[in-house]
Amino acid sequence: SRRLTLGDLATKKDAGDPIVMVTAYDHPGAQIAEEAGVDMVLVGDSGAMTVLGYDSTVPVSVDEMLMLTRAVRRGLTRPLLVGDLPFGSYEASDALAIETAQRFVKEAGCDLVKIERGGTTVDRARAIVAAGIPVVGHVGLTPQTATALGGYRAQGRTAEGALAVIDDALALQDAGCSLIVLEAVPSEITRVLKPLLRVPTIGIGAGADADGQVLVFHDLLGLLDGPQAKFVKRYADLRGAAIDGVRAYADEVRSGAYPAAEHTYGMPADEVARLQE
Ligand code: KIV
Ligand code: NA
């Protein structure tokens, strides 16, 4: 079936049909997302943590993100693909932002790119859009600059804080962003923004009023160890299932139960006879 378009997302928003987005970082993840019928796939810089083992999203490089993104591209047909520009790859100038965004389109086949924060990022968004590449804004909790925000915590829980998040979202819309991700903000902010934004909002910890939702693949499938953010719902325990599977394999190798006859190749009898001559 054909690739979705931004027009399809607008149609969904107008009809009140929630837009479904999930992250993916590799080819099987992309195929799983596609088969499950999601509308959009984000190769998030959360991959720095979920698949590359960094302790934040800050260290991941453009080349690392491009490798993950290309693998996802090869597994997708219908969902829109969003590339996440990593920390340090777009902030310094409009020229840098355009150059990096173009790499995600040319080298990894992204349909859109995502950048974090308001402030100077609003100018970068305008520049990338002017260069012909659709942009997703991302406000509220912005993990690339979490240290400056006081850590990984909900944002905009005071009236002043909420107005700052709302202003950033409106400025990103004015700059031409096609979608706005709202991360870890009170549902009141999402509700206030609803009549003010023409473009769809995609929430992650932003309540039920966003036009769509996004979750990290590894979070929703229970692939990670350790505590989860309040907004994560686990729909499976793949980590437990995987550990059980690998442990069963190890046990069977040690007991001799694996490999059995059906996992073993043989030779035709005449070839065995010739071998023994
Ligand atoms: O990197 C990521 O996974 C994200 C989503 C949580 C929006 O930016
Ligand atoms: Na991200």
**Residue 189 CA to ligand 2 centre (angstroms):** 20
Q: List all residues 6 or more positions away from 45 whose beta carbon is below 8 Å from its beta carbon.
A: 57, 60, 65, 84, 85, 86, 87, 143, 144
The residue from 64, 183, 188, 271 that is catalytic is 183
216 CB under 6 A from ligand 1? yes
Distance 84 CA to ligand 2 centre (A): 6
Q: Are 202 and 212 in contact (CB under 8 A)?
A: yes
Q: Which ligand 1 atom minimizes the distance to the CA of 214? A: 7
Distance (Å, whole) CA 216 – CA 193: 24
Q: How far is the CA of 242 from the centre of ligand 1 (A)?
A: 24
Question: CA 203 to CA 86: how far, in whole Å?
Answer: 20
For domain 6-236, which CATH number applies: 3.30.1330.10, 3.20.20.60, 3.90.1150.10, 3.55.10.10? 3.20.20.60
Altogether, the residues listed in the chain come to a count of 277
ipTM of the complex: 0.99
Of 20, 7, 216, residue with least CA distance to 111: 7
Write down the pLDDT at residue 22.
99
For ligand 1, what atom is nearest to the CA of residue 202? 7
3-state secondary structure of 140: strand
* Angle between the N-to-C axes of helices 159-174 and 120-130, in degrees from 0 to 180, rounded to the nearest 10: 20
For ligand 1, whether the C-beta of 134 sits within 6 Å is no
- Quote the CA–CA distance of 131 and 195 in Å, as a whole number: 28
Q: From first to last of the 277 residues of the chain, give the pLDDT tens digit.
A: 799 999 999 999 999 999 999 999 999 999 999 999 999 999 999 999 999 999 999 999 999 999 999 999 999 999 999 999 999 999 999 999 999 999 999 999 999 999 999 999 999 999 999 999 999 999 999 999 999 999 999 999 999 999 999 999 999 999 999 999 999 999 999 999 999 999 999 999 999 999 999 999 999 999 999 889 999 999 999 999 999 999 999 999 999 999 999 999 999 999 999 999 8
Q: Is 237 annotated as a binding residue?
A: no
Is 45 annotated in a binding site? The answer is yes
Quick check: CB of 45 below 6 Å from ligand 1? yes
* Ligand nearest to the CA of residue 47, numbered in listed order: 1
Q: What is the pLDDT of residue 1?
A: 77
**Strands, E, within 131-251: which ranges?**
135-140, 179-183, 201-204, 212-215
Q: Is the CB of 23 under 6 A from ligand 1?
A: yes
Pairing of strands 112-114, 80-84: parallel
Domain boundary assignment for the chain: 6-236, 241-276
* Measured CA angle at 238 (ends 233, 239), to 5 deg: 100
Instruction: Measure the CA–CA gap between 103 and 111, rounded to whole angstroms.
Output: 12
| Rounded CA separation 273/268 (Å) | 9
Instruction: Check residue 48 and give its pLDDT.
Output: 98
183 is catalytic: yes
Residues 6+ apart with CB under 8 A from 263: none
**Nearest CA, atom 5, ligand 1:** 44
pLDDT of residue 79: 98
Diameter over CA atoms, the chain: 89
Mutate to test the pocket of ligand 1, among 114, 116, 177 (most ligand atoms within 8 A of CB): 114
Establish whether residue 181 lines the binding site of ligand 1, counting it when its CB lies within 6 angstroms of any ligand atom. Answer: yes
CA 209 to chain centroid, in Å, comes to: 20
The rounded distance, in Å, linking the Cα atoms of 197 and 212 is 14
Q: Is 42 helix (H, G, I), strand (E, B) or coil?
A: strand
